[in-house]
Structure 1
Amino acid sequence: MASRPPRDKDVYAAIVTPKAAAADDAVEPVVPWSLVRNPLESAHWLSVVAISWIGPLISKGAKAPLTEADVWPLPHSDTAEVLYAEFRQHWDVEQTKPAPALWYAIYRTFRGRIWYSFSLYVVSGALMLVQPILIKSMLQFLQQPDDRPIATSVGISNGYVLAAALSILTIVSVTIGDYGQYLANHLGVNAKLVLIDTVFKKVLCMSGYATKDLSTGDIVTMASVDADRMFFGFLMGYWTFIRYIHTY
């Protein structure tokens, strides 16, 4: 019987060299999130609405304390350079008027986002008004005798449909309301950033004679206290108008 020809593994033995071992042990370097593009810039619209794009950061913070290297940089549209450039265009127009208004320049800067977030508040508030009607209809359904035709305020005589409608309405109204609050907070932070940037740019451009009566406390007040008021104005100001829907 003819013997089989020798194979490579029967003749040669694997030799591990220091260079090969170092290549096997090499670990791919981990890029810190502070050098990675913010996921909000490329997130899907559903991820933005559900605010799930921030999930990896929350999961990482639950496992270990977060450091500066773990936080993504700001989206390009939220940087002071971009926001101030947009604000400056409207502020230059205001300065040509006899009585320039800072609030109107900020409003023109964020006008589209303001009305969009405000409309979400209105829709959420309107949906919340329908919830008591559905709850009343469910009580009417439960209190109706079996020998009588079921009549409810919304005209639905099926209890399962009423329960499903109430559940869906609650989820939708809460989701829209939470997303609207997120946009309002986002707007408030952007407006605060614009105001702080404007204050410091103005102080740096002023001459020494012009700033002789301007103390450090005045600058800190304008850059912190007044900026915080701007932020809380966006955070709570919408409810000044939405409350009329809830009290109707």
Structure 2
Amino acid sequence: MRLDIVFVSIVIYSCLLMLEFNVLRTKIFHCWYSEKGYPADLKNKRLFYHYKYNSLLQRMLFTTMNWLFARGYKRPLEISDLGCVPEDFECKKVYREFNDAYSAEQERALKANSVPSLWRAYLRAYGWNITLGVTIKALADFCTIAFPLIIGGIVTYSALWYYDEARRAETVCYVTVNEFFNNGFVLAACLSIVVIVRATLLQYGSNITDLCGLQARTAFQVYAYKKSLRLPMSALTSGDMTIGQVANYMSVDALAIFWFTLYQGALWPTPFLVSLESHCFLCNTRNIFVSVFQLHIIKSS
């Protein structure tokens, strides 16, 4: 166990040393690094939402929203309390990013002599952020696999400690990694850590997909609105396109894209997760009952 702790300490100190070298490279020697100017968003005193400029820990724990929670706790919130919208969430920038992706898709379709795909443009514009959010939510879901394993280990430890008197009187001088993680108190601490990590990852992944869904919904609404403005009156009067269809494109269809972006993170890992959790639960339940039954027989005899 001591050797393992030494190896882990070496890895941690090596990472910290590399971080210090990187700071010296960027801030002192300016090697392969160019200083960026002060962001224009932060110069606006009415901008209170600094998500883009937050650290990873602040994004995962939502600490930068404490001012809003405190203000809402004291009095009802108003529109003026929210401040202005950041540049990344303004309608014109959201539309421009999606329009660039759709223009690239139109060029690809023109070269391939095919019809432009809206899904390709959607993935081109928001694919990376959606993949990141879905991956983080999948990691949070896979953390639930540890729950039956840890609870099974705690029950096994409690049963052995209760029935085996020699185990209670035994003193161990040098603890191995296996013995350390077979301890019920260590497993209880690990269970608490896994719960906190799972909740944090789940909130962070959901936040990423929520923002992507809002941007996709806004982009589709603006795109449908600008497209409807270019429609001739003959198309609306002839029955080829009605006002209700345009309204559905801007409201119902855009909202469907929003909900699809939100819930697609639960679509991919769910079948594998359910089967794996069921297998782990059944195996651990069987092992626990067998261990308790054997110890009870030994205690009785």
TM-score, normalising length: structure 2: 0.66
Runs of 4+ in 1 over 4 A off after TM superposition: none
In structure 1, C-alpha distance between the alignment counterparts of 2:145 and 2:270, rounded to whole Å: 12
In structure 1, C-alpha distance between the alignment counterparts of 2:131 and 2:74, rounded to whole Å: 39
Equivalent residues of 2:206, 2:262 under 8 A apart:
yes
In structure 2, C-alpha distance between the alignment counterparts of 1:189 and 1:36, rounded to whole Å: 19
Please list, as runs of the form range in 1=range in 2, the aligned pairs for 1:16-55 lying within 5 A after superposition. 35-55=46-66
Please list, as runs of the form range in 1=range in 2, the aligned pairs for 1:60-209 lying within 5 A after superposition. 60-96=71-107, 97=109, 98-144=114-160, 145-147=163-165, 149=167, 156-209=181-234
Q: Which has the larger radius of gyration?
A: 1
Equivalent residues of 1:187, 1:234 under 8 A apart:
yes
**Which runs of 5 or more residues in structure 1 are unaligned?**
1-32
Q: How many Å apart are 1:74 and its aligned residue?
A: 2.2
Equivalent residues of 1:191, 1:231 under 8 A apart:
yes
Q: How many Å apart are 1:246 and its aligned residue?
A: 2.1
More helix by share: 2
Residue 225 of structure 1 aligns with which residue? 252
Residue 299 of structure 2 aligns with which residue? none
In structure 1, C-alpha distance between the alignment counterparts of 2:165 and 2:48, rounded to whole Å: 65
Equivalent residues of 2:60, 2:204 under 8 A apart:
yes
In structure 1, C-alpha distance between the alignment counterparts of 2:193 and 2:77, rounded to whole Å: 36
Q: How many Å apart are 1:37 and its aligned residue?
A: 4.9
Q: How many Å apart are 1:34 and its aligned residue?
A: 8.8
Q: How many residues align?
A: 213
Please list, as runs of the form range in 1=range in 2, the aligned pairs for 1:4-23 lying within 5 A after superposition. none
Q: 1:235 aligns with which of 241, 262, 266?
A: 262
**Which runs of 5 or more residues in structure 2 are unaligned?**
1-43, 169-177, 276-301
Equivalent residues of 2:154, 2:183 under 8 A apart:
no
Residue 247 of structure 1 aligns with which residue? 274
In structure 2, C-alpha distance between the alignment counterparts of 1:218 and 1:34, rounded to whole Å: 41
Identity %: 23
**Structure 1: which amino acid aligns with 2:75?**
A
Post-superposition CA distance 1:128-150 (Å, at most 9, x none) = 11111001000101111233559
Q: How many Å apart are 1:36 and its aligned residue?
A: 2.9
Q: Secondary structure at the match of 1:35?
A: coil
Residue 29 of structure 2 aligns with which residue? none
Q: How many Å apart are 1:42 and its aligned residue?
A: 3.0
Equivalent residues of 1:196, 1:227 under 8 A apart:
yes
Equivalent residues of 1:192, 1:228 under 8 A apart:
yes
Q: Secondary structure at the match of 1:65?
A: coil
**Structure 2: which amino acid aligns with 1:170?**
V
Equivalent residues of 1:34, 1:71 under 8 A apart:
no
In structure 2, C-alpha distance between the alignment counterparts of 1:229 and 1:61, rounded to whole Å: 30
In structure 2, C-alpha distance between the alignment counterparts of 1:56 and 1:87, rounded to whole Å: 32
